[in-house]
Amino acid sequence: MNYNNDSRIVMTLDAGGTNFVFNAVQGEEEILEPIVLPAKGDSLEEALNMIIEGFNVVKSKLVHQATDVLLNPAPLTKQPVAISFAFPGPADYENGIIGDLQNLPFFRGGVALGPMLREKFGIPVFINNDGDLFAYGEAIAGLLPGINKKLEEVGNPKRYRNLFGVTFGTGFGGGIVTRNGLHIGDNSSGGEINRMRNRSFKNWDTEESVSIRGIQREFSKHTGTDISACPEPKEIFEIGIGKRKGRQQAAIRAFEAFARDAADAIANAITLIDGLVVIGGGLSGAWPLFLPKLVGEMNHPFDTMSGKPLERIETVAFNLEDPTDYGKFLTSTSKVIPVPFSENMVNFDPEKKIGVGISRLGTSRAVSIGAYAFALNMLQSGG
């Protein structure tokens, strides 16, 4: 799963609603200056030609060893072995077919993007959701191996092999990695956490609260202002921490509402997954305002008919960005117990711990590394 010394090259694309950003990855590092082309066009044909053009430019720079634009000055001598990138859904990612997109309205009725690129470039093509690739990148080279390395350093025998990645931004995305494998699902719909029911607004999906618009709605509600005049979440965060003048309590309450609804969805998901949680996306930088509340909500017990509280999740969640919580998370609670009817002893850890932390790679780099690793893993397995 470690590809940081791999010499193979994979061409990548970050497909947004505004721009297509192309690059090439080798050894888990982007090796070209980004090639940016507009995502908009007047037709599907124009949009597809834009994607082909972008990959042609990348390939040309690789083939001709254009070292003047390389971040790594060493000349490149190898052809790319695959194309791998994130593209918006809904989609049949396994077969490379894109469905009806909102941000790219020319994609309608099923567009065989993967097969088209495979025919044009003669190499395997892999397309995934950005939430999936974000989680995979953090599992390969980010939070997951970092935590396991730290546990080893402090002498704790516990190791983690499962990771749930979520992205907070314009929308609410998710991806699942279980024991080195990316969970796609039978219909390319695995990890779609945005479709969970909203805790605060029962007929809404969670994304209506766990998103930029959710924070702005709450801030507008608490300030009595029109949402059209609402500041951006970065400004609301700065108001909340006292860096910018404004209604500080309204900003704090907006992020608390965001954290409460995010925690409910994440707790539901992690009950099934049982692993670490990593958070990325444009809103992740505001973690000082939302992460303590989010972890606290994950640990807040249910009420029961008997009156006895029931743990919200079977594990205990720790805030990996809080030094005290992080220290408790790393501390081993294992003990030695006897094997019945035997003289042998075995280790047993009675505490079930999970950690919730912020991206160690940055969202864009995690997606890029995830795309790269996914392609090489699929080539290795013959997928």
pLDDT score at 111: 95
Q: How confident is the model at residue 69 (pLDDT cuts 50, 70, 90)?
A: very low
Mean pLDDT of the chain: 92
Reported as a pLDDT band with limits 50, 70 and 90, residue 72 is low
Please give the average per-residue pLDDT across 145-149, as a whole number.
Answer: 97
Per-residue pLDDT at 74:
53
| pLDDT one-digit tens code per residue, 333-380 | 999 999 999 999 999 999 999 999 999 999 988 999 999 999 999 998
Summarize the confidence of residues 178-188 as an average pLDDT. Answer: 89
- Would the pLDDT of 2 be above 90? no
Structural domains of the chain ordered from first start? 9-128 (3.30.420.40), 143-360 (3.30.420.40)
Residue 175 reports pLDDT greater than 70: yes
Quick one: tokens of 235? Answer: 């400004």
C-alpha 368 chain-centroid distance: 11
**pLDDT above 70 for 235:** yes
252-311 pLDDT tens trace: 999 999 999 999 999 999 999 999 999 999 999 999 999 999 999 999 999 999 999 999
pLDDT, position 64: 65
Q: What is the pLDDT of residue 83?
A: 97
**Banded model confidence at residue 67, pLDDT cuts 50, 70, 90:** very low
The pLDDT of residue 102: 79
Q: What is the pLDDT of residue 301?
A: 96
Retrieve residue 361's tokens.
């790679």
Cα angle, residue 303 at apex, residues 302 and 308 outer, rounded to 5°: 110
Mind listing the pLDDT tens digit for each residue in 9-62?
A: 999 998 876 788 899 999 988 898 889 998 777 789 998 999 999 999 999 998
pLDDT exceeds 80 at position 92 = yes
